[in-house]
Amino acid sequence: MQAMSSLPSLGRYFLPALLFLAVSARADTTTDATKAPAAVENKAQAAVAAKSETTVDDAGRFVANFQGAVQRGSQQVPTKVGNIAMNMVYYDGGPVACMVIYCDYPAGSVANSGGPDKVCQNASDGAVKSVNGTVRTSSPYQLGDLKGLEIVADIPPKDPTVPAGASVARLRFFVVGERLYQVMYIGPTGTETSATAAAFFDSFRLMR
């Protein structure tokens, strides 16, 4: 079983669709994309106050607060250990998107890939590469007794002549058994430490 080479494919296969969904939606919403991050953040905070919804996802075994009604999807990803279902729960607010993605690998895949730390790092590398991003920061993150990884990555604009189209992705990765979780906030550069982002990340809990 060659699980090590399959796990990094996570970001390459389904992250582009979600990341570019958020980036494209914001780039196409000219009035939001050209505003200063503070203006976009004020709008996002208003949305949080007005529509914040707690999502208890039994299948994913997690709880998180999203800024509005969530959408769900599942994508089959071919890997060397067979097709893997990538399950997505997300809120797409145009300039800002928040999402939780999880997938289950066959028994033994995590150990064969080097353990949870290696799996998180591989997923991080794949996610950043998939959007031609640049890692700004990378550090361990502790969620209760669970060790994970947090990164902040800068995503270049679709149009290099429009710097305001640049985005930032803040992601946390966790492994529970053979399941990989990715918790993501995507928004205009400068909003990665905003109250909106913090509220989303602080709300995320695993049901174990």
For residue 66, the one-letter residue type is: F
Q: Is the pLDDT of residue 136 over 60?
A: yes
State the sign of the Cα–Cα–Cα–Cα dihedral 11, 16, 17, 23.
positive
Instruction: Note the Cα 36 to chain centre separation in Å.
Output: 23
Helix (H) or strand (E) run with residue 139 in it: strand 134-143
Mean pLDDT across 181-192:
93
- Per residue in 6-30, pLDDT tens? 333 333 333 444 444 444 444 444 3
Which pLDDT belongs to residue 17? 43
| pTM (whole model) above 0.85 | no
Identify the H or E element spanning 26.
helix 9-28
pLDDT bucket at 4, cuts 50 / 70 / 90: very low
Query: The tokens 């949870």 sit on which residue?
Result: 116
**pLDDT score at 59:** 94
For residue 204, what pLDDT is reported? 97
Residue 126: which pLDDT band, with cuts at 50, 70 and 90?
confident
Q: What is the mean pLDDT of residues 52-79?
A: 90
pLDDT of 144:
93
Q: What pLDDT band is residue 107 in, cutting at 50, 70 and 90?
A: very high
180-191: average pLDDT: 93
Q: Average model confidence (pLDDT) for the chain?
A: 79
Q: Look at residue 24 in the predicted model and tell me its pLDDT.
A: 43
Q: Is the pLDDT of residue 34 over 60?
A: no
**More reliable by pLDDT, 33 or 147:** 147
Which CATH superfamily includes the segment(s) 3-206?
A: Mog1/PsbP, alpha/beta/alpha sandwich (3.40.1000.10)
Number of H helices, E strands in the chain: 7, 10
What percent of the chain has a predicted confidence (pLDDT) above 70?
73
Q: In angstroms, rounded to a whole number, what is the distance separating the alpha carbons of residues 81 and 90?
A: 27
User: What does the pLDDT average to over 53-63?
Assistant: 94
Among 7-11, 94-98, 106-110, which stretch is predicted with the lowest mean pLDDT? Answer: 7-11
* Sequence ranges of the domains in the chain: 3-206
